[in-house]
Amino acid sequence: MIDFHCDVLCKLLDDDRLDFAAGSDGLDVTFPRLKAAGSLLQTFAVYIPERQHGGMTPVWRSIDLFYRKVLSIPGIRLIRSAADLEAAGRERQIGALLSLEGVDRLDGDLTLLRILYRLGVRAVGLTWNHANWAADGVMEPRGAGLTGKGKEFVRECERLGIIVDVSHLSEAGFWDVCDLAGRPFIASHSNARSVCDHPRNLTDDQIRAIIAVDGRIGMTFVPWFVRPEAPVTTDDLLRHIEHVCALGGDRHIMLGSDFDGIDRHMEDLRSPEDVWRLKEALLKRYSAEQTERFFSGNALRYLTAMLPAT
């Protein structure tokens, strides 16, 4: 399994006593659960809520927590390059990829982006739900696209080899990235709006655009992005997968759980240990080869191509 989004670092930032290595009741994603799930790679997002003050300080603290609480565990390997990815597979280690969700704290300073790259950040989402100096988020009523600084930021991400993530971005911002990007981009944790009409989900035109550039879409387990009414189960999530496949996205689907970023869960997908239920459900409808692509193959091919070689 490869999962392209979780918010463990945000919880550790709020409560440094939580134990990722041994497992804590307050965490969805833990090292024992990733091992039990047969995880190949987990992306750890740096997300700083507005309640956290101090400019860039919470970003640096989050990355410090990533190094102290995650990368210090034997069996976990930092993924900065395609070579790291290959080595993790060969040595049966769990890969850990670092991403940034929302660039608010950077205040347009590309020097900070370059420092984050050196610390291991390999994917960046420009916004959370609201507006910042780079772009409008999907819940911003104005609905504007990228600013001039935001476009400059995307160009620098591409020069460095940082993956651009359009989950949380306004529709106008999405199309700005689509027009600007020279490399395939991703929506790390978004579903299909035609199946569940939520602003955080992707329209059919957006899904087609990601497919056209050979990007990736992380099917997310956020219940209210899967189905508007409870209960929400894997059968409901399958409708999103089926819809993306119908649009030609069989080779562009991956997983983006958003574990630890939600306070309510799907009935049968509450942690990485439960993802086998999704796999069993997929195998009833899709071939073993297709299921493997959804779980890891599509993401693995993408990362091998998009990450720096060494």
* Residue-wise pLDDT tens digits, 205-234: 999 999 999 999 999 999 999 999 999 999
Read off the pLDDT of each residue in 176-199 and give the average, rounded to a whole number.
98
List of E strands, 11-170: 41-46, 76-78, 94-101, 121-125, 163-165
Read off the pLDDT of each residue in 253-265 and give the average, rounded to a whole number.
97
CB contact at 8 A, 18 and 274 = no
HEC string of 220-287 equals CCCHHHHCCCCCCCHHHHHHHHHHHHHCCCCCCEEECCCECCCCCCECCECCHHHHHHHHHHHHCCCC
Whether a cis peptide bond, with omega within 30° of 0, leads into 231 is yes
Read off the pLDDT of each residue in 230-247 and give the average, rounded to a whole number.
98
Return mean pLDDT, the chain.
98
Residues 46-61: pLDDT tens digits? Answer: 999 999 999 999 999 9
Q: Give the confidence band of 45 by pLDDT, cuts at 50, 70, 90.
A: very high
Distance CA 227, CA 242 (A): 14
**Res. 80: pLDDT tops 90:** yes
Read off the pLDDT of each residue in 174-181 and give the average, rounded to a whole number.
98
CB contact at 8 A, 3 and 271 = no
Read off the pLDDT of each residue in 186-207 and give the average, rounded to a whole number.
98
Predicted local distance difference test score (pLDDT) of residue 212: 98
CB contact at 8 A, 85 and 303 = yes
Nearest to 226 by CA among 252, 264, 260: 264
Residues contacting residue 189 through CB under 8 Å, at least 6 positions apart: 4, 5, 167, 218, 220, 222, 256, 257, 258
Distance CA 14, CA 81 (A): 30
Predicted local distance difference test score (pLDDT) of residue 286: 98
CA 295 to chain CA centroid, nearest Å: 14
Q: What is the largest CA-CA distance in the chain?
A: 50
Residues contacting residue 260 through CB under 8 Å, at least 6 positions apart: 6, 7, 8, 10, 11, 27, 28, 29
Predicted local distance difference test score (pLDDT) of residue 304: 98
**Res. 182: pLDDT tops 90:** yes
**Res. 172: pLDDT tops 90:** yes
Predicted local distance difference test score (pLDDT) of residue 16: 87
Quickly count: other Cβ atoms within 10 Å of residue 310's Cβ.
8
Distance CA 271, CA 254 (A): 17
Task: State whether residue 138 is helix, strand or coil.
Answer: coil
The answer, as to whether pTM is greater than 0.85, is yes
Predicted local distance difference test score (pLDDT) of residue 24: 87
Distance CA 103, CA 24 (A): 29
Question: Both tokens of residue 53?
Answer: 């003050």
CA 53 to chain CA centroid, nearest Å: 24
Strand pairing partners for 266? Answer: 269
Poorest-confidence range of 24-28, 63-67, 284-288? 24-28
Nearest to 39 by CA among 84, 7, 79, 76: 76
Q: What percent of the chain has pLDDT over 90?
A: 99
**Res. 170: pLDDT tops 90:** yes
Backbone angles phi, psi at 22, to 5 degrees: -95, -25
Q: Give the confidence band of 273 by pLDDT, cuts at 50, 70, 90.
A: very high
